[in-house]
């Protein structure tokens, strides 16, 4: 849930990069932190767990306008993807305003993608949220590995298995090179800010 600071004329919202372990969530945030230096405020903070990490930092999207005369400040988070860190994922999701689900394009990760998406759905339900209503973008990461001769699922197959029912915006990417990362970020920022604007309009009417 977004936080409004009327004194500083600022709205803080939270975006979470979710997905299975090693799908590229951390790589996405590292690329954003490096490539969009003008919009990044403060340092990237990393909480290390055994073989997995949670990262977060503040981000100021420029040129996307204001809400109720307030600037928008975005906090970007990743969750640890390994199954054993379910409690940590639930904690990181608290107060979320928008989600990027980072799916791994490698064929051997097919089942892990679906398990992680189901995990997201269940965790949102526990917080009284619907995966169909919260701003959500799917990112099909590691598309570059096909050129390296590794077995990669087709975009059509991934879209069918992960997005057939959700029907949310999706984007192909290679987070390592940065390809598609900016597009993914723009998609989720637009959806989230649109959702927040609608929330505030509704709040004013009631």
Query: What is the chain's pLDDT, residue by residue, as a tens digit (206 residues)?
Result: 788 777 888 888 999 999 999 999 999 999 999 999 889 988 888 877 676 767 787 787 765 667 878 888 899 999 988 888 888 899 999 999 999 999 999 999 999 999 999 999 999 999 999 999 999 999 999 999 999 999 999 999 999 999 999 999 999 999 999 999 999 999 999 999 999 988 776 555 55
Q: Give the separation between CA 57 and CA 104, rounded to whole angstroms.
A: 23
Structure tokens at 111: 């089942």
Q: Which residue has the tokens 């490698």?
A: 106
What's the farthest any 2 CA atoms get from each other in the chain?
57
pLDDT value of residue 65: 66
| Domains with residue ranges and CATH for the chain | 3-176 (3.40.50.300)
pTM as predicted = 0.92
CB 56 within 8 A of CB 25: no
């Amino acid at each position: 849930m977004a936080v409004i600071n009327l004194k500083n004329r600022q709205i803080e919202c939270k975006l979470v990069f979710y997905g299975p372990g090693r799908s590229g969530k951390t790589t996405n945030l590292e690329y954003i932190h490096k490539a969009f230096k003008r919009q990044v405020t403060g340092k990237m903070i990393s909480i290390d767990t055994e073989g997995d990490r949670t990262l977060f930092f503040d981000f100021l999207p420029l040129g996307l306008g204001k809400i109720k005369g307030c600037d928008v400040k975005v906090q970007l988070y990743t969750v640890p993807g390994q199954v054993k860190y379910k409690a940590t994922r639930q904690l990181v999701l608290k107060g979320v305003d928008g989600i990027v689900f980072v799916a791994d394009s490698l064929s051997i990760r097919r089942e892990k993608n679906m398990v992680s998406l189901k995990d997201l759905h269940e965790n949102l339900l526990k917080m009284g949220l619907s995966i169909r209503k919260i701003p959500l973008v799917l990112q099909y990461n590691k598309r570059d590995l096909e050129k390296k001769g590794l077995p990669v699922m087709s975009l059509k197959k991934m879209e069918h298995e992960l997005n057939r029912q959700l029907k949310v915006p999706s984007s192909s990417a290679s987070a390592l090179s940065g390809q598609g990362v900016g597009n993914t970020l723009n998609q989720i920022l637009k959806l989230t800010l649109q959702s927040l604007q609608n929330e505030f309009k509704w709040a004013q009417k009631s």
